[in-house]
Amino acid sequence: MVAVRTPPRWNHLSMIDYFKKHWPVFLLIVTWFIFTWPFWLKGLVPAPLDFLVGFFAPWREHYNIPIKNPAIPDIVNQIIPWKIFTIDQWRQGIVPLWNPYNLAGTPNAANWQSAVFYPANLLPLIFDFITGWSLYILIQPLLAGLFTYLFARSIKLSPLGSLLSALSFSFSGFMTSWLEWGTLGHAILWLPASLWAIEKYLATKKRAYYLINLVTLSLSLLAGHLQVSLYVITVSLAYFYFRSRPLNILTILKGLTLQGVTPFLLVAFQVFPSIELYFHSLRSEAASNDWFRFFLIPVEYLITFVAPDFFGHPVSRNEWGSGSYVEMMGYIGIVPLALALTAIFSWFKKRAKTKAPSVIPFFITLIVLSLLLSLKTPMAELILWLKVPIFASSSPARIIALVSFSLSILGGIGLDHINTQKQRIAQISGIKIIAIGLLLLWLSVLMITFIAPTSLLATNVSIARRNLIIPSFIIILFIAGSYGLWLMYQKKLITSTSFSILNSLFVILLVSGDLYRFHHKFTPYTSRDYWYPNFGIRRTLKAVAQNDRVFGLFDANLNLPFLIKSPEGYDPLLVKNYAELTSAVRSGEPSLPERQSLLTIGKNEPF
């Protein structure tokens, strides 16, 4: 007789045990539902549709509604139209390689941001498009949080420290400000998944984890933003080398071949057409030096890691700095930042005694290099001078995503440090480090608000001071709460274990409230009724125009949801030949601008 082993049945006891083991994951999911409640409870869409109908012709003549966030128009006049067209083609069983509706026809699949082959694009195929789009957008912080949690646990962070890292990154300034684009967020969220796979591979030597790593890097490449994906692949490769020490030639070649080359080969169907399009587009020409330098982060913008609205907020209509709120926002919460500083200071203090491998120096180095490449430094200028493809023609500020991720991981490490039971003085010393570090930061911020009375700041100092109130309150509450719990532990009212748990939960609650306010202040959730309303004139135009191109009615790519052809369009990879053609119509001679994405034709121009 052969005994057949049956799988164990789930019962309420096994479910309770499973919950006890993974309760931080459940708490992360619950927090995600709370952050995204306008979609689940009110049916609102995570898209700036108020901007669509309140700003763009011809809807603005029919809708008189306030616009919440004026800083993110590209979502409705570029990204969503591409998605609508792409999904419509897939539903017809057509591979959406070519877009015949904008310009003189333009590549669709080869345009990286259309993300034609990204698996998450199946969501609008499974559901109705609006629901599918909403889920496609909202799963970004959820996946980012889950992957960050897995990675943090793989490097031995506690469940609560891992949860803090996950929350800090998934609802960070970068993830929130780029959330509704659905490209940069999907590209960066695979970074923690890749680092987790590397950790598991090095720990177990199972090839399955290496294959998982290749899949995560490939998915990042398909997600719709090449610049961010290149950051992900570079950091993944560097982390593999860092954790594989001591290095040898075989390991170096293995990492370079498998991680640096194989992901591109796995998605060659996306890479090679996109490379060809890039070199036929204006982006391949010399980038405008002024444009590149405009998106280098002014050093004073580092204050936004402490007070994100120090230079105003697009929703409040009071921005006054010399930078871009969306491009340069790396806020992870002021408490995780404080804990990250604790981890950094503690590592520098004890590095000589540290025998076990640590990820702290890797993330410190990543932060420093990322800042050197995004601030106005000679290293950033070197990218421009060498005319490095992709990077020299893209916003250098977007590398701030790596700073946000690194600080989030260090924040979890810092929380574990002040909660450790192995070092009796760690708790109180950690609180002291936080208090002193933040005091110095705050003094520097306050000094800036009082100096240079003839500068631009002088006329906006009230905005800066007002936007210091909430961060100041959070810091005071954090220090008071942590110190109060410490005193309870000192007086033996609670145990050391209780202190660690209560302090961690207090920190996580405080961070969640801070990031919830940040998320909902910036992110518009709007009514489905504003989803590209189809007036009768569009139906008439489509029937009358047929293969002719309609001119003078639509802005950017807003003709695309209605499948009406237009000689205009909005595409970062604008083909050089068409740009030369339109310039020849205007001036009689073909010429190329330094940089152009939106091609419009004046209403009185011959065409």
For the stretch 122-175, pLDDT in tens is 898 889 999 999 999 999 999 999 999 999 999 999 999 999 999 999 999 999
Whether the pLDDT of residue 341 is over 90: the answer is: no
Lowest mean pLDDT among 132-136, 195-199, 209-213, 538-542: 538-542
Secondary structure (3-state) at 263: helix
**Which has the closest alpha carbon to 359: 195, 553, 185, 488?**
195
Secondary structure (3-state) at 147: helix
68 confidence band (pLDDT: 50, 70, 90): very high
| CB-CB neighbours of 432 under 10 Å | 15
63 confidence band (pLDDT: 50, 70, 90): confident
Looking at residue 423, its pLDDT comes to 47
Q: Which residue is associated with the tokens 């990492």?
A: 255
Question: 144 and 399 in contact (C-beta within 8 Å)?
Answer: no
Looking at residue 345, its pLDDT comes to 82
Q: What angle do CA 36, 38, 41 make, to 5 degrees?
A: 105
Looking at residue 187, its pLDDT comes to 97
* % of residues, the chain, pLDDT over 70: 85
Dihedrals φ, ψ of 5, to 5°? -90, 120
For residues 196-202, average pLDDT: 94
For residues 174-187, average pLDDT: 96
Strand residue runs (E) in 228-310? none
383 confidence band (pLDDT: 50, 70, 90): confident
Lowest mean pLDDT among 45-54, 212-221, 420-429: 420-429
Of 11-15, 87-91, 282-286, 429-433, highest mean pLDDT:
87-91
Looking at residue 16, its pLDDT comes to 58
Of 129-143, 281-295, 343-357, 524-538, highest mean pLDDT:
129-143
Q: Model confidence over 431-449: pLDDT tens digits?
A: 555 665 566 566 656 655 5
| CB-CB neighbours of 6 under 10 Å | 6
* % of residues, the chain, pLDDT over 90: 48
> CA-to-CA distance for 315 and 373, rounded, in angstroms?
29
Looking at residue 356, its pLDDT comes to 43
Whether the pLDDT of residue 10 is over 80: the answer is: no
What mean pLDDT is reported for the chain?
Answer: 85
Looking at residue 422, its pLDDT comes to 47
Question: 572 and 283 in contact (C-beta within 8 Å)?
Answer: yes
Query: Does an H or E element contain 598, and which?
Result: strand 598-599
Looking at residue 453, its pLDDT comes to 44
Whether the pLDDT of residue 462 is over 90: the answer is: no
**Which has the closest alpha carbon to 153: 142, 140, 164, 169?**
164
Of 63-67, 328-332, 492-496, highest mean pLDDT:
328-332
Whether the pLDDT of residue 428 is over 60: the answer is: no
605 confidence band (pLDDT: 50, 70, 90): low
The more confidently predicted of residues 106 and 544 is 106
For residues 467-489, average pLDDT: 82
**Which has the closest alpha carbon to 359: 404, 406, 324?**
406
Looking at residue 491, its pLDDT comes to 82
> CA-to-CA distance for 556 and 570, rounded, in angstroms?
5
The more confidently predicted of residues 585 and 440 is 585
What are the structure tokens assigned to 288, written together?
């405008």
> 0.85 cut: is pTM over it?
yes
Dihedrals φ, ψ of 449, to 5°? -75, -10
Question: 112 and 118 in contact (C-beta within 8 Å)?
Answer: no
Looking at residue 467, its pLDDT comes to 85
Whether the pLDDT of residue 352 is over 50: the answer is: no
107 forms beta bridges with 98
392 confidence band (pLDDT: 50, 70, 90): confident
Lowest mean pLDDT among 224-228, 278-282, 422-426: 422-426
Dihedrals φ, ψ of 598, to 5°? -95, 115
Whether the pLDDT of residue 320 is over 80: the answer is: yes
Write down the H helix ranges in 56-189: 74, 80-91, 123-126, 129-154, 159-170, 173-177, 184-188
Whether the pLDDT of residue 386 is over 90: the answer is: no
Looking at residue 454, its pLDDT comes to 45
Looking at residue 593, its pLDDT comes to 65
Secondary structure (3-state) at 98: strand
Question: 80 and 133 in contact (C-beta within 8 Å)?
Answer: yes
353 confidence band (pLDDT: 50, 70, 90): very low
Of 34-48, 331-345, 455-469, 584-598, highest mean pLDDT:
34-48
> CA-to-CA distance for 28 and 359, rounded, in angstroms?
24
> CA-to-CA distance for 511 and 500, rounded, in angstroms?
16
Looking at residue 58, its pLDDT comes to 79
Looking at residue 487, its pLDDT comes to 80
Dihedrals φ, ψ of 95, to 5°? -70, 115
106 forms beta bridges with 99
